[in-house]
Structures are given as structure tokens and as C-alpha cells.
Structure 1
Amino acid sequence: MPTLLLSDIHGNIVALEAVLAHASGRDYDRVIFLGDAVGYYPDGNAVIEKLRALGARGVMGNHDAWLLTLDVLEGEGYVFDILRWQAERLDPENRAWLAALPWSIGGEGWLAVHGSPCDPFTYVDELEIAREAFGCSEARWIFHGHTHLAGAYTALDGPTGPWVRHKAFAEARNPLKLGPKARALVNPGSVGQPRDGVPLAGYAIWYEEKDELEAFRVEYDIKAVEERVRRAGFPAPLYQRLYQGR
């Protein structure tokens, strides 16, 4: 069952539409969303509506959770100002969909979380943290987001613990084939705000039966996002960073 993997869209409908257009030429049977539909960019409503239309299964991200709990949070700064702006404009049906997201979902041999299997808010961005993450789940394929860094950690059992390596997904197409005894912790990359120095949206398609995955990087109209950010009155660094992929 080929599966489309999307993560960290953050209200960037322009990037999401570009990714879906790119993926339309490839067959997939289901969509798994790895968290953070909202935050940073103005089109949280449109993003959630698109995910709902796709029939996406998903998990809760930290920005999603923050938006839903703004009445009890004491967060300050532009991140929370934007979430308050989005919360005021979020349709009740979209809010209900967001609120129903669990912290993790999974099936035979796979698990989807936002951060780490150990903690949904943990950033898996170092080998040692990845090694700990593998220890918190027995799944062969673990899918996550949160770091906005497209790539995969792969693990193979060694005499004193798992050998863990990392592969970045920086090319237009990035194939990953698992060996018989290997496991993978995969971040398909951020759709809406990449942070690995590559100013391209990221997504992946997982081919479960083949034990293979392809990750892709896709161009999108950053200027159009800039115009949306300006109209909403959000801080300029939010669109400036997109040109650098940071």
C-alpha cells in the first residue's frame, strides 16, 4: 500500500498544493500526516480542509496542540501571536478534526509520531537521540517530523547496541531501501518550512510491500507565500527564511 507522508505544513497552502501536484503523478493509496498543520503561515484553515479532503490519518504536532490550548498557555512572542490569529479564524469543523488527532498512530511494523517515539515533542536531530528513539519502539519503519530536516536514520543491531547512520534527503529524488534486518526513522521533510538549507518542500512516498521509500524535494512559489505573509501582517523573517531553506 503506497503511502504519501506529509509533515510540518504550518499553514503554507502554497507549498502543500505544489507537493500534491508533484505527487499526483505517483500512485498512493493513503495519506499519513505527521503533525503541525498550523503555525507560521496564514492558511491553516485551507491546509486542514485539504488534509480532510485527502482522508489523511494524522498525529498531533506541538503547534497543533498549542493552538488548541491557548486558553491555558502563557506563551509569548510571534509564534503564539500567529496561533491566536489562526485560532480566531479556524472553522469549527477544522478545529474538531485537529483536536481529534492522537499523539501516535501505527500498524504492523510501522509507527507515526511527530517528534520521537519516546516523546512527541523531542527533536530527533542527533545520532544519540535517534538511537534512543529506536529503543522506544519496535517498529521497523518509524515516521516523524518536528525538526524540519528531511532525512532518515537507519539502524542495524550490533554487538553493543544498534549501529545508527543518517542520510539527508537533499536531492530532487531520494530513494531508501531497507536491508532485511535494518530499521528506519524517517523524516520526509517539512512541506511548509524546510530548515536544512534546501529551499524546497519535502514529502515522501512509502512502499510498504517493497520495504522502500522515495523522498522528494519540490519547488513552490515562495513569492506567493511572501505576499500572503505580508497581507496577514506576520513578521518578515517568516518568508525571508523560506528563500534560504532555514
Structure 2
Amino acid sequence: MRHLVLSDIHGNWPALEAVLQAAPPFDRVLFLGDAVGYYPDGDRVLGWLREVGAECVLGNHDAWLLALDRLPVEGVVLEILEWQRGRLSPENLAFLASWPWQREVEGALLVHGSPCDPWEYLDDLAPARQAFRCSEARLAFHGHTHLAGAFLELQGPRPWVRYQAFPEGGELVLPPSVRALVNPGSVGQPRDGVPGAAFALWEGDRIAFYRVAYDLERVAARLAEEGFPPWLYTRLTLGQ
């Protein structure tokens, strides 16, 4: 079975559209959290995930949106989430609220941050080593850092961990003796210096990474239409 692996869409519908136009055929969608936040079309993103029956886990922005009645709404991020929550359909809000923090799909673990803590950033070797100890899964998919790449653990008496980045695409083939923590990158707001929408395809022991360009001016127009901060567009042009 071929899985389309997505993370950190953040309400960026033009980016998700570009992914769907560029992706090879797939059987199932795995989503690693943060459907909402930053860009205006969170309801549309959630509607698509619900329609395709995506297997989803909560991200921190998703959790913040669900908890807004218990949080002081201060700062741009929470103000955007409050704006989005007021525009979510009841069906999409209930769908979002049903997501767990982690789940297993065909032996792979799905989590937003780390197997140890769904809010933790796997952005260095030390937290990656700890993450491997928090799960027995050979393969785990995560997001949160918005960086496309994989931490690889070579099993043995003293496991050895290294990192491989895939900011412009590429393919990872897992040998039997290797475990992996794989981040497909962010669909909606990459932060590895390469503009475009990132995603991955997982089939068996192969994970293919992709980065697809799209019309950023469509996002700029949506931001202007809804009065969102222009720096959200600038970040997309820089891939940061």
C-alpha cells in the first residue's frame, strides 16, 4: 500500500492543492498534525482530510485551537487560531477533536513531535536518540520542525544515530537493521531554506521525499483578503 505522508499544512490550501496535483497515485493519507494555524484555509484543509478518511494525529496548533476557551488569546498565532475556530464547520471541528496524540498504521508510529512527547522538537541527535528509546517501532513519522529528513538508528550493541536531510527531495530505503524517525517536511510552511510544499510517499521500506513549487501569490492574495500579517507570505518565499 502506498501512503501519502503529510504534515504541518497550517491552513495553506494552495500548497496542499499543489501536493495533490504533483503526488503519484496513493492509497491512503497519513497526516502528522497542525492542519490549522498561520494561513486562512484551515476549514478547507480539515474538510479534505475528513473526506479522504486520513489517519491523523494532533499537532500543537490543533490542540491550541481546541483549547482556546481555556487559553488567554495573546499574540498573532492564537489570534489566527481564534479567527479560524470561528470559521470551522461543526463537522470539521468534531473531526479535529477526535484525533489522538499518536497512532499506529501498519506498524509505523504517527506522532507530531516525538514518540516521547508530541510537543518535543526532534531537531538534534540527542532528542532523536531519546525518541528511539521511547518507541519500539522500526519506523515512526513525525512533523513539528518543518524540516524534511530522517534520523536513522543502526541497531547493534551500541546503536549509532545519524541524520539525513531531504530539503529538495530524494529517496530513503531502509535496510533491515535500521530504524527511522522520518519527517516529510511541511506542506504549508517549510523551514529548511527551500520554498515549496513538502510531502513524502511511503511504500514498504521506501520513503520518497518531494518538494513542489506553487504560486505563492495565491497565498499572498488570501492573506491580504483576510487581513493576515504579510510576514507569513515572506516566510514562504524564503522557505523559513
State the TM bucket, normalised to the shorter chain: over 0.9
Structure 1 stretches of at least 4 aligned residues deviating more than 4 Å after TM superposition? none
Q: CA RMSD in A?
A: 1.0
Following the alignment from structure 1 to structure 2, what is the Cα–Cα distance between the partners of residues 148 and 155?
21
Residues 1:170 and 2:164 are matched in the alignment: no
Q: What SS does the corresponding residue of 1:55 show, helix, strand or coil?
A: coil
Letter in 1 for 2:233: Y
Letter in 2 for 1:37: A
Structure-to-structure mapping, 1:203-242, within 5 angstroms: 203-208=199-204, 211-242=205-236
Q: What SS does the corresponding residue of 2:202 show, helix, strand or coil?
A: strand
Q: Which deviations, in whole Å up to 9, do the C-alpha atoms of 1:187-244 show, x marking residues without a partner? A: 0000000000000110000012xx1110100111111101111111111111111000
Q: Deviation at 1:74?
A: 2.1
Q: Deviation at 1:84?
A: 0.5
**Count of aligned pairs between the two proteins:** 240
Q: What SS does the corresponding residue of 1:179 show, helix, strand or coil?
A: coil
Following the alignment from structure 1 to structure 2, what is the Cα–Cα distance between the partners of residues 55 and 188?
19
Gaps of 5+ in 2: none
Residues 1:191 and 2:187 are matched in the alignment: yes
Following the alignment from structure 1 to structure 2, what is the Cα–Cα distance between the partners of residues 38 and 196?
20
Letter in 2 for 1:101: W
Following the alignment from structure 1 to structure 2, what is the Cα–Cα distance between the partners of residues 158 and 57?
32
Following the alignment from structure 1 to structure 2, what is the Cα–Cα distance between the partners of residues 105 and 93?
22
Tell me the TM-score normalised to structure 2 length: 0.98
Following the alignment from structure 1 to structure 2, what is the Cα–Cα distance between the partners of residues 66 and 244?
26
Letter in 2 for 1:51: L
Gaps of 5+ in 1: none
Tell me the TM-score normalised to structure 1 length: 0.95
| Aligned sequence identity (%) | 61
Q: Which deviations, in whole Å up to 9, do the C-alpha atoms of 1:82-109 show, x marking residues without a partner? A: 0000011111000000000011110453
Following the alignment from structure 2 to structure 1, what is the Cα–Cα distance between the partners of residues 214 and 180?
28
